[in-house]
């Protein structure tokens, strides 16, 4: 299921464990690329700042198409996943690679702030293509 942020909804602890932490890709009909970092948006439907974050994440998803995967977790539905990830407030965005958190952003941020974070992770992983 696609969320308002444009990412895929993580709907179970097992799905988070398999797709984000163990990096085993997604479902058969919509696989995640295990070679790409995963941007995880922790949010809730009632959260105003989360609603403001959705279009920013959607723009980043388009900008970094084929460079990152994007998933969303409702903290109302999966509070234990949020707790285990160290999420104390929402929205929180975490960038994972190979099961490890590479960066965390808390709160509603501008597109350029999130883009810098994604660039840094891609650069650290040697996946950022330099523009000429």
Tens-digit pLDDT string for the chain (132 aa): 668 788 899 999 999 999 899 866 555 556 678 889 999 999 999 999 999 999 999 999 999 999 999 999 999 999 999 999 999 999 999 999 999 999 999 999 999 999 999 999 999 999 887 654
> Which residues does 58 contact at the CB level (< 8 Å), separation at least 6?
4, 5, 6
Cβ proximity of 52 and 45 under 8 Å: no
> Which residues does 125 contact at the CB level (< 8 Å), separation at least 6?
37, 97, 102
What's the pLDDT at 129? 74
The dihedrals phi and psi of 38, each to the nearest 5 degrees, come to: -115, 120
Question: CA end-to-end span of the chain, whole Å?
Answer: 37
What's the pLDDT at 33? 86
CA distances from 1 to 26, 28, 61 (A): 12, 13, 16
* 47 among known catalytic residues: yes
What's the pLDDT at 132? 42
* 108 among known catalytic residues: no
Q: Alpha-carbon distance 132 to 119, whole Å?
A: 16
Model pTM score:
0.91
One of 39, 47, 68, 122 is an active-site residue; which one? 47
What's the pLDDT at 1? 62
What's the pLDDT at 26? 57
What's the pLDDT at 5? 81
Query: What would the two tokens of residue 15 be?
Result: 């799905």
One of 10, 50, 81, 93 is an active-site residue; which one? 50
């Amino acid at each position: 299921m696609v969320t308002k942020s444009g990412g895929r909804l993580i709907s179970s602890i097992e799905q988070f464990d398999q797709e984000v932490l163990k990096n085993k890709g997604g479902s058969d009909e919509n696989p995640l690329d295990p070679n790409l970092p995963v941007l995880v948006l922790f949010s809730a439907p009632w959260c105003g700042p989360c609603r403001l974050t959705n279009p920013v994440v959607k723009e980043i998803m388009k900008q970094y198409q084929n460079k990152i995967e994007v998933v969303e977790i409702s903290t109302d539905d999966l509070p234990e996943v949020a707790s285990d990830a160290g999420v104390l407030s929402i929205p929180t965005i975490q960038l994972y690679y190979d099961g490890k958190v590479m960066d965390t952003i808390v709160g509603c941020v501008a597109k350029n702030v999130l883009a810098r974070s994604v660039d840094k992770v891609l650069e650290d992983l040697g996946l950022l293509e330099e523009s000429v």
